[in-house]
């Protein structure tokens, strides 16, 4: 059973629904496309953030820890959701931020500060060192009552929350699509998926080949029903061009669904491109996970 404080937070969230996308291209190619709307869960703890944090926060509360320490960039969706959740749950939060303290705070950093997160700016080399610490008590110098959470909330507990996405999908589908940063969300989906479904990750980063190596140790079975699309990074993490931004604008105008340019925009651009190129078989049903992150739109 979830900790009562977390149960209360969960009750305040909106259920994620499944929306079918109707488009002449999909009709022509005889492809059924559905979006799993995790973006609807909460304006801030949205998408995969809630899925990943749910059982981590439960663990924090069960240990009676009072402080969560984590890391991220100046636009981190992960720190944004964590700072907000920390405030809701009365937990102190500390964020190690990559790079120098900027003179002008991004809206993400301003929110973090407003929600009480203690910000510690660290050099890129120190940031890389922090990436080595994977367990909640493994950060050197960690004190009693403090809980270390690696970048992006990439832990095994995150996988348990991600698995719940699939439990909520009541239709039968052939393919599942998800954007990838660290690959943790994808690993959770692979672990929970049926083997007759193929899972396609879309790397948000250039050179996303590392995902193959990073996802493997998170898997509970030797599944080979997954692969990563590496070509839709648009120049690198958080990079975008006019074509991508126009796609996102058109998507909103056509379906009333907002996407952002870091993760979900790239995945859906890639997905439509693959459909155009007959990558998927006619008659296939695809579910793509909208992992939220809309706060990142205001870059």
Ligand X SMILES: Cc1ncc(COP(=O)(O)O)c(C=O)c1O
Is residue 37 within the footprint of ligand X (CB under 6 A)? Answer: no
Identified binder of ligand X from the candidate list 29, 54, 78, 233, rule CB under 6 A? 78
With CB under 6 A as the contact rule, which of the stretches 29-37, 130-138, 184-192, 269-277 interacts with ligand X? Answer: 184-192
Min dist CB 179 to ligand X, Å, is 4
Asked if residue 82 lies in contact with residue 153, where contact means CB atoms within 8 angstroms, the answer is: yes
Asked if residue 176 lies in contact with residue 146, where contact means CB atoms within 8 angstroms, the answer is: no
Is residue 73 within the footprint of ligand X (CB under 6 A)? Answer: no
Is residue 183 within the footprint of ligand X (CB under 6 A)? Answer: yes
Identified binder of ligand X from the candidate list 155, 184, 191, 193, rule CB under 6 A? 184
Q: Please provide the DSSP assignment of 137-154 as one string.
A: T-STTPPTTEEE--GGG-
Asked if residue 152 lies in contact with residue 237, where contact means CB atoms within 8 angstroms, the answer is: no
Min dist CB 144 to ligand X, Å, is 29
Min dist CB 140 to ligand X, Å, is 24
Is residue 229 within the footprint of ligand X (CB under 6 A)? Answer: no
34: phi then psi, degrees, rounded to nearest 5:
-125, 145
Is residue 191 within the footprint of ligand X (CB under 6 A)? Answer: no
With CB under 6 A as the contact rule, which of the stretches 17-25, 217-225, 244-252, 285-293 interacts with ligand X? Answer: 285-293
47: phi then psi, degrees, rounded to nearest 5:
60, -140
Is residue 180 within the footprint of ligand X (CB under 6 A)? Answer: yes
Helix (H, G, I), strand (E, B) or coil at 57: helix
With CB under 6 A as the contact rule, which of the stretches 3-11, 121-129, 139-147, 181-189 interacts with ligand X? Answer: 181-189
Identified binder of ligand X from the candidate list 86, 150, 161, 181, rule CB under 6 A? 181
Is residue 295 within the footprint of ligand X (CB under 6 A)? Answer: no
Min dist CB 88 to ligand X, Å, is 19
Is residue 108 within the footprint of ligand X (CB under 6 A)? Answer: no
The residue at minimum Cβ distance from ligand X is 293
Neighbour-count burial of 124, counting CB atoms closer than 10 A to its CB (0-12 exposed, 13-18 middle, 19+ buried): exposed
Handedness of CA 175, 56, 110, 133 (dihedral sign): negative
Dihedral class, residue 235 (left if φ above 0, else alpha if ψ from -120 to 50, else beta)? left
Residue with tokens 């996308």: 21
With CB under 6 A as the contact rule, which of the stretches 11-19, 85-93, 113-121, 286-294 interacts with ligand X? Answer: 286-294
Give which of 16, 19, 17, 18 is closest to 54, Cα–Cα.
16
Task: Give me the long-range contacts of 3-6 (CB less than 8 A, separation at least 24).
Answer: 3/57, 3/58, 3/61, 3/62, 5/61, 5/89, 5/90, 6/54, 6/57, 6/58, 6/61, 6/89
Is residue 182 within the footprint of ligand X (CB under 6 A)? Answer: yes
With CB under 6 A as the contact rule, which of the stretches 55-63, 182-190, 231-239, 268-276 interacts with ligand X? Answer: 182-190
Interface positions with ligand X (CB under 6 A): 47-48, 77-78, 152, 179-186, 263, 291-293
């Amino acid at each position: 059973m979830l900790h009562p404080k977390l149960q209360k937070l969960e009750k305040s969230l909106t259920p994620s629904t499944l929306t079918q996308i109707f488009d002449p291209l999909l009709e022509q190619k005889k492809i059924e496309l559905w979006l799993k709307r995790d973006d609807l869960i909460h304006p801030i703890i949205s998408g995969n953030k809630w899925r990943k944090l749910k059982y981590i926060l439960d663990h924090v509360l069960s240990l009676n820890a009072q402080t969560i320490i984590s890391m991220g960039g100046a636009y981190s969706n992960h720190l944004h959701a964590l700072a907000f959740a920390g405030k809701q749950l009365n937990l102190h939060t500390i964020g190690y931020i990559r790079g120098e303290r900027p003179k002008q705070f991004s809206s993400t950093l301003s929110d973090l500060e407003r929600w009480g997160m203690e910000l510690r700016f660290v050099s890129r080399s120190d940031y890389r060192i922090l990436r080595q610490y994977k367990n909640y008590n493994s950060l050197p110098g960690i004190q009693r009552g403090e809980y270390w959470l690696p970048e992006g909330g990439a832990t095994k507990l995150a996988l348990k929350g991600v698995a719940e996405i699939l439990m909520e999908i009541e239709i039968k589908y052939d393919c599942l699509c998800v954007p990838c940063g660290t690959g943790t969300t994808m690993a959770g989906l692979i672990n929970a998926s049926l083997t007759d479904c193929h899972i396609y990750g879309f790397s948000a980063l250039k050179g996303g080949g590392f995902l193959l190596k990073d996802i493997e140790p998170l898997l509970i079975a030797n599944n080979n029903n997954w692969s990563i699309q590496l070509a839709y990074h648009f120049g690198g993490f958080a990079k975008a061009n006019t074509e991508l931004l126009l796609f996102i604008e058109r998507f909103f105008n056509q379906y009333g669904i907002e996407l952002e340019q870091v993760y979900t925009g790239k995945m859906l651009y890639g997905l439509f491109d693959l459909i155009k190129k007959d990558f998927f078989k006619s008659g296939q049903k695809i579910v793509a996970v909208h992992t939220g992150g809309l706060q990142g739109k205001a870059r």
